[in-house]
A and B are shown apart, each in its own frame.
Chain A
C-alpha cells in the first residue's frame, strides 16, 4: 500500500502524457515494512480460517443451546429492587430471543413476576441483565428460569 505522496504533484502536471515517465516511484516493489504488515495479515487470515474450519469440523456444529440463568446481585433501587442476572450458554448453538422469568414467592403464594428477553445468547458466552421487583427479594423466595429461545 505504498503511495509516495510527494510525487503526486509531479504526476498531476504530467497527466496528459500518455505514458508514465520511467523511474517514477509507483514502479517500486514491496518494501520490507510492507511485507511485515502483509505477513501479519496472512497470519490473521489463516488464523481465522483455521479456527472456523476447526470449529466447523470439531466444535459447535450440532447440539442445542444450553442456557442457564443465575442471580448476580440484589440492589435496592429507589422504591423497588433490582436483581442482576447472568445468562450463560454452555451449549453448542446460539439462542435468540431468550426469555428469562423471575418470580418471588412466599410459601404457596406468588408475590410477583418479572420477565426479560435477551436478543442473543451466543454459544459459550454470557450476557447480563436485570429484573425489577416491588417486593424485597431478600425477604421472599426468588426463582429464576429460562423459558425458551428461538434459533437465530
Chain B
C-alpha cells in the first residue's frame, strides 16, 4: 500500500502530464515546431528555456496553486512541471518517429526543448484548470495580484496563444497580404476584443470591481498597456524563432501586428481564466 502523500503526488503527476499533453499537443503535431528544433538559433532557444522556469515560478507565485509562504515550493512546482513536460514531449516525439536513429542529439534537444515551453505551462496550469475551481477562485480573490502581476498574467496568456502560431508560415503570409488599412483595422479589432474581456473581468467577472474605476481608466490601464505587452511578447517570439531575420522594419511591424491578434485574445482571456 502506498501512503497517502505519495499517492497524492502521483495523482498530481498524472494531472500534470494530462495538462502538459493538452496544452502541447497542437504544437507537438506541427511541422514548423519540429523544423524549428534544428533551425532555431541555439542561443535563442537557450534564452527561452532559461526564461521558462522563471515564468512558471512567477505564475505559481501570482496564481498561488498552493498557499505555501515558501518560495522554494513554487520553484519545486516549476521544476516538476518541466520534468513532466520534457518526458512527455520526448515520449510522443519518439512515438511519432521524429526522434530516434539518424537524428542528431542537438536536433532532438531542440525539438524537445521547444515543446517543454507550452507543455510545462500546461503541466503547471492543469491543477487550476482541472478542478478546485471555487478554491482557486477564492485564493485569487484573496491574493489579488497587483498591477504588475496582472500584466504578467496577460503576458503569459499572450505567450501561450502565440507560441504555436509564431513559427508558422501563415503569420508571414498574412502580414504580406494585408494593406496598411487592414493592419490598422486589425489593431482596432485586437484592442476591442481585449477591452471586451477587460470589461467582463472587471464588472462581471470574478475579480472584484475596484470602486471608482472608469471605463476610460480601464482602457488605458489594461487594454492599451496590455496590447503593448502583447506586442513585446510577439516581437520576442518572432525573434526567438528567427522569423524576423532579414526583414525590414516595416515588415517586422506587420508581423508583430499579425501575431499580436492571437496574443491579445490570449492575454485578455488569461485574466479571465487564471
Contact = CB atoms under 8 A, between A and B. Distances in A.
Contact of A11 (B5, B11, B53, B134): B134
B82 A53 contact: no
B102 A125 contact: yes
Given A1-B127, A12-B134, A15-B135, A31 B38 contact: no
A95 to B, nearest CB: 10
Given A27-B67, A41-B86, A120 B79 contact: no
Interface in A107-136: 119-120, 122-128
Given A5-B8, A6-B4, A120-B38, A45 B79 contact: yes
B119 to A, nearest CB: 12
Interface residues of B, number: 58
Contacts of A72: none
B168 to A, nearest CB: 14
Nearest to B45: A52
A12 B134 CA distance: 7
The binding surface of chain B is classed by DSSP as: helix
Contacts of B105: 51
Interface stretch (A32-40, A74-82, A139-147): A32-40
Contacts, number: 169
B212 interface: no
Contacts of B132: 3, 8, 11
B82 A41 contact: yes
Given A31-B5, A35-B76, A125-B104, A44 B82 contact: yes
27 contacts: A1-B12, A1-B15, A2-B12, A2-B66, A3-B132, A5-B8, A8-B131, A11-B132, A20-B67, A27-B68, A28-B68, A29-B70, A30-B73, A34-B9, A35-B76, A37-B80, A44-B83, A49-B46, A49-B49, A52-B46, A55-B106, A56-B41, A59-B42, A96-B35, A122-B38, A125-B38, A127-B102
Interface of A: 1-6, 8, 11-12, 15, 18-20, 25-31, 33-35, 37-42, 44-45, 48-49, 51-53, 55-56, 59-61, 94, 96, 119-120, 122-128, 152
